[in-house]
A and B are shown apart, each in its own frame.
Chain A
Amino acid sequence: EAQVTQNPRYLITVTGKKLTVTCSQNMNHEYMSWYRQDPGLGLRQIYYSMNVEVTDKGDVPEGYKVSRKEKRNFPLILESPSPNQTSLYFCASSLWSQNAYEQYFGPGTRLTVT
C-alpha cells in the first residue's frame, strides 16, 4: 500500500531534549516536505527536499534540521525543543514535476514540549 509513515504519532517531551521525528515513504517520490499546523495559522512549511542530499528552507525553519540521505526517508530533528514548537507536524511526499504535483501526507505527529 502506497503510504507515508511518521513516528512517533504522539510525543510529550521537555525543553531542550533533542528529538527526531521520522518520515518514510514507499512511493519512490523525489519531493518530501515537513509542515507544522497550528490553530489559526494553517499549515506552514518547515523544510523541503527535492531529492537525495537536496534540502531547502520553507517559511518556518528556525529550530529545526532535516537530512535526506536516502530517497525514502526524511527525518525532522529538533536539537533543543522549546514550548513554541508544540504543534501538529505533517510529513508529505510527491513526485516532482516542473510545474505542479500532488502531495501525499503522513498521519501526523502531535508534539508537546513542556
Chain B
Amino acid sequence: EDKVVQSPLSLVVHEGDTVTLNCSYEVTNFRSLLWYKQEKKAPTFLFMLTSSGIEKKSGRLSSILDKKELFSILNITATQTGDSAVYLCAVVRGAQKLVFGQGTRLTINP
C-alpha cells in the first residue's frame, strides 16, 4: 500500500530557530514530491522535487529529495511567526495520482 509519512506531527519552536521537517514515502511508480504550506484554509504550493540531491530554495525555505532512501526534508531557517502553519508533503505516483502525508503542524512562538 502506498504511503507517505511525515515527522514530526507537531513542532513548537522559538522565533529565529531553524527547523527540519521530514517526509518519507513508499509508493509505486514515483514521479515527484511536492511540499505545501496550509495556514487557514487552502494549501499553497512551495516546492516540486523530481531529482535526487538537487536543492530547491526559496528565501529561508529549502528542500531536497533523496530517491535512494525515499525521503525529503524541508528546512526553514531563521523562523518567523508567519511560518506557523501545517506543512504537507505529497507524492505524485503513477497515473497522476497524489498521496499526501498527515502534515506537520509547526508553531513558532515569539
**Contact residues of A between 45 and 62, Cβ < 8 Å to B:** 45, 48, 50, 56, 58-59
Q: A100-B31, A101-B48 are in contact. Are A43 and B100 (CB under 8 A)?
A: yes
- Contact between chains at A100 and B97 (CB < 8 Å): no
Indicate if A75 sits at the interface (CB-CB under 8 A): no
Contact string against B for A residues 30-68, beta-carbon threshold 8 Å, 1 for contact and 0 otherwise: 010101000011111100101000001011000000000
List residues of chain B with CB under 8 Å of any chain A CB.
31-32, 34, 41-45, 48, 50, 88, 90, 92, 95-103
- Contact between chains at A102 and B95 (CB < 8 Å): no
Q: Min CB distance, B74 to chain A, in Å? A: 15
**Contact residues of A between 63 and 88, Cβ < 8 Å to B:** none
What is the interface of chain B mostly: helix, strand, loop, or mixed? strand
Chain B residues near A96 (CB, 8 Å)?
Answer: 96
- Contact between chains at A56 and B95 (CB < 8 Å): yes
A to B CB contacts below 8 Å, 12 in the list = A43-B100, A45-B98, A45-B99, A48-B97, A90-B43, A99-B31, A100-B31, A100-B32, A100-B92, A101-B32, A101-B48, A108-B42
Per the bound structure, the CA–CA distance linking A96 and B41 in Å amounts to: 24
List residues of chain A with CB under 8 Å of any chain B CB.
31, 33, 35, 40-45, 48, 50, 56, 58-59, 90, 96, 99-108
Q: Which of A33, A42, A99 contacts B50 (CB 8 A)?
A: A99
